[in-house]
Amino acid sequence: MPPAAATDTLDAVPDAAGRPAGGRSRRWSRRLPWRTAVAAAGGIALLFAFPGWSLTGLAVLGPAALALAVHGQRARSGAWLGLVLGLAFFVPLLSWSGTYVGAFPWLALAVSQALFVAALGAATAAVSGLRLWPLWTAALWVLDESLRGRLPLGGFPWGRLGFSQTDGPFLALAAYGGVPLVGFAVALTGALLAAAVLALVRARRAAAPRAAAALVAGALAVPLAGAAAWLPLPGSSLTDGGPAVTVAVVQGDVPEAGLEFNARRRAVLDNHVQQTLDLAARVAAGDEAQPDLVVWPENSSDIDPYTNDDAARAISRAAGAIGAPILVGAVVEGPGEYLSNTGIVWDPESGPGDTYVKRHPVPLAEYVPARAFFRFFSDKVDLVRRDFTHGTEVGVLDMGGARVGDVICFEVVYDSLVADTVDAGAELLVVQTNNATFGYTDESAQQVAAAQVRAVEFGRSVALASTSGISAVIAPDGSLVRSSGLFTSAVFVEEIARRDGATLAQRLGAGPEWALSALGAGAVLAVAVPALRARRSRA
C-alpha cells in the first residue's frame, strides 16, 4: 500500500499530536457544519436512489458526499459524518419497520445500521491521505456492507448500494461480481467525482483542471464499462435460454393490513384457494394457459395443513382444480416447541411432498434471542409468542417439471442463501413473501428491487409471490414483466425458461466480496500500523 500523501490544502495539516496545527484549528471547526450538511445531503440523495423514488443515478452521490465530507479529517470526525449520512439514509429508508410496532424498534434498527456507516466514515477519513484513495474508499464500502450483512444476529444487508440499481449501467455488473461489485462500482464512481471536486478547489495549480478532467473521465468510465457489460447477458425475454414451464403466481390478498393481517387465518387461505379456483375456470374456458406449477406466497396458510384436515382439503381442492402442484407458504408446527416457516409442494394427486424451511428467520420478528434482555427495551418482543426454527436444507424443489429455487421473504437480500440455491440446481427462482405487516410503505418495492438484482446476478427469471403485494415476474435482465399493486388480488401466468447456465458471479461466489473487503482493510492497516508505531515511539 503506498504511503500517505498530501491531499487537500483546504484540510488542516495536523501537528505531531494529531491536532490541526496553529490557527487552522478554528478554521477546521468552522468547516465541520458544512461537512455535516454535505454528509446529510449524501444520505438523502442515496435514499432517493431506492424504491419510493427510484432515481438510481443519485446513488453515486452518497459515496461522493461522504468522501468529500471526511476528506483530510480525523477518524473521530469521520465517524460523526458517517453517522450523519447513515441516519439521513436509514431512518427514512427503514420507516416501514415501525409501521405497526411504533418508533422504538424502527429507530433502533436504523441507528444500528447507521453505526456501521459511522465506522465507514472513520475508515474513509483515515485512508483519504493515501494515493489512489478513491479506490480504497470504494473498497471500504464493500467491507462495511459485508460486515453489516453478517453482524449481529446474522446481519441485515438491507439498503446496500447494489440494491438501488434496478436499471442503468451498473446493474449489469451483478452478473460478474454480484451485489458487492455493483456497490463497488457505485462507490468508486462517487469517490472519483469527489476527487474531481477536490482537484478543482484545492490549489491554484495549472495542473488542477487537467487532474479534475482526468478524474471525471475515470468516473464516467465506470458506468461505461457497466454498459458494455450488458452485451453478452440475457435480455428481457422470459422464454429464451431453455425449455419453458408455465408458472402461475397467485396473490390472494389479506382481510386487513397490520400485525393482525392473519387474525382471520382461514380467510387468507380461502383467498388464495379462490383465486386459484378462478384461474382454473379461466384455464378451462381457454382464457389462460394451463400452468405447470403454481406459486402461493409466504403465510398463505397459517393453518398447519399437516394437522388441520380442513386446511388440507382446501389446498387439495385448489390443486386438483388447477391440475398442477402448488408451492404453499405455510406455518407448520414443530419441531418441538418451535414453528417452521415452510414452503410445501402440494401435488394435486398425492398431496404434500417436498418442503423448504426458511433458513434465516428474522431476529426479533420470527424469533427472539435473549428475550428478557430485549423486553427491557420494548414489550413488543412478546408479540412473537413462539420462535421459528432455522431450516438447514437448501430450497431446491422439483415441481411441474422444473427445479425451483425457493427463498422466503428477507432471505432474498442474503447473498449466500440465494447463491447456494442456484448452485444446488435451481432453474428459476421463487421468492415467497408476506408484506402485509408493513402496510402501504416502500418495503415491498425495496424487496422487489433486491429480486431484480438477483435475476441479473444469476441469469435466472424470478417469480415473486406476496400475500398482499407487490407480486412480480422478473426477467433475467432485471426488468419487471408483471407486477401487482398493494392490497389487491392478482394472478400472473407466464412461460418461464428453465435456465442452467452459470454467470461469472455464480462461479466466483463470495470471491469478489472478500477480495474487495481485503483491499479496504489493507488500506486501513496501511494507515493504522505506522500511526501505532509512531505513538509507541513517542511513549
Q: Which DSSP string corresponds to 473-535?
A: EE-TTS-EEEE--SSS-EEEEEEEE------HHHHHTTHHHHHHHHHHHHHHHHHHHHHHHHH
CB neighbours (10 Å) of residue 26?
11
380 belongs to the catalytic site: no
427 belongs to the catalytic site: no
* Helix H or strand E encompassing 26: helix 24-48
Alpha helices (H) in 149-264, listed in sequence order: 174-201, 207-229
Measured N-to-C along each axis, helices 133-148 and 103-127 cross at an angle, to the nearest 10 degrees, of 150
Residue 484, C-alpha cell as written in the block: 401487482
Which of 145, 298, 411, 427 is the catalytic position?
298
Q: Distance (Å, rounded) from C-alpha 185 to C-alpha 142?
A: 10
Amino acid at 164: S
How buried is residue 30: exposed, middle or buried, by Cβ count under 10 Å (0-12/13-18/19+)? Answer: exposed
CB neighbours (10 Å) of residue 310?
10
Q: Distance (Å, rounded) from C-alpha 256 to C-alpha 293?
A: 28
Which of 145, 358, 427, 457 is the catalytic position?
358
Q: Distance (Å, rounded) from C-alpha 360 to C-alpha 9?
A: 49
298 belongs to the catalytic site: yes
Which of 145, 366, 409, 513 is the catalytic position?
409
Q: How far is CA 328 from CA 73, 88, 113, 301, 394, in A?
A: 54, 39, 33, 7, 17
Active site residues: 298, 358, 409
